[in-house]
């Protein structure tokens, strides 16, 4: 007897189609009409699930791309290991999403529309820095980072380094940063002296 495979919901089909189209065409050249056609659904059905293209884009990022683990590991991993895992996650995220979003920067009008749209849904690039800073503040509250450490600058340094590595990998046509764990550990080791007590 054949086992039936569950049919993806229309929302799942739209997200899968959106990821495919955005990767192939870039965000600037992606329309909701194209996504709906790829999903085998009407554009009206797409709008039953998503208010606009920006909300759909954010949903693709949140549900169809690698997620960074902003929360500290409950298993007691070291501060350095936990932050290195976070930076490695971010490198993968940026590598996979840079080709999708890059095209939007070619049109100031589209960029402005996109910026307003993602902001209206609580998204935007700054949320990544906010997430890393929240992780550092949590580590600070736990006593693993100095009380006077500049967590905002450290978050910017970690995210900036991860973004650049993701950009380099995307530029080379790669789907991941080669030797990501080693690079992430090196980035964290460069930042840690500004965060931890001198004897740690």
Q: Is the pTM of this model over 0.85?
A: no
Residues of the chain with pLDDT under 70: 1-7, 73-75, 199-200
pLDDT at 74: 61
Taking the chain, what is the end-to-end CA distance rounded to the nearest angstrom? 62
pLDDT at 3: 44
DSSP secondary structure letters along 10-76: HHHHHHHHHHHHHHHH-GGG--HHHHHHHHTS-HHHHHHH-SSHHHHHHHHHHHHSPPP--SPPTT-
Q: Establish if 40 belongs to a structural domain.
A: yes
For 43-76, letters b (16+ CB in 10 Å) and e give eeebeebbeebbbbbbbbbeebbbebebebeeee
pLDDT at 100: 87
99 and 184 together in one domain:
yes
48 and 99 together in one domain:
no
Q: How many beta carbons lie within 10 A of that of residue 146, not counting itself?
A: 15
Q: Establish if 1 belongs to a structural domain.
A: no
Rg over alpha carbons for the chain, rounded to the nearest Å, is 19
Domain of 18, CATH number, reads 1.10.10.60
196 and 107 together in one domain:
yes
pLDDT per residue as tens digits for the range 11-66: 999 999 999 999 889 888 899 999 999 999 999 999 999 999 889 988 988 888 87
Helix axes 53-64, 10-25, angle to 10 degrees: 90
């Amino acid at each position: 007897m054949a086992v039936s495979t569950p049919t993806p919901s229309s929302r799942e089909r739209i997200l899968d189609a959106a990821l495919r189209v955005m990767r192939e065409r870039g965000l600037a050249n992606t329309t909701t009409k194209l996504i709906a056609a790829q999903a085998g659904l009407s554009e009206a059905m797409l709008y039953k699930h998503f208010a606009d293209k920006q909300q759909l884009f954010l949903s693709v990022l949140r549900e169809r791309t690698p997620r960074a683990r902003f929360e500290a590991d409950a298993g007691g991993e070291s501060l350095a290991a936990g932050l290195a895992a976070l930076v490695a996650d971010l490198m993968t995220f940026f590598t996979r999403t840079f080709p999708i979003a890059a095209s939007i920067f070619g049109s100031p009008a589209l960029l402005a529309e996109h910026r307003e749209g993602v902001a209206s849904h609580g998204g935007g690039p700054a949320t990544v820095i906010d997430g890393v800073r929240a992780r550092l503040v949590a580590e600070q509250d736990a006593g693993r980072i100095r009380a006077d450490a500049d967590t905002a600058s450290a978050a910017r340094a970690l995210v900036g380094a991860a973004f650049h590595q993701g950009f380099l990998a995307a530029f080379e046509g790669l789907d991941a940063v080669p030797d990501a764990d080693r690079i992430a550990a090196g980035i964290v080791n460069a930042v840690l002296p500004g965060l931890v007590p001198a004897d740690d």
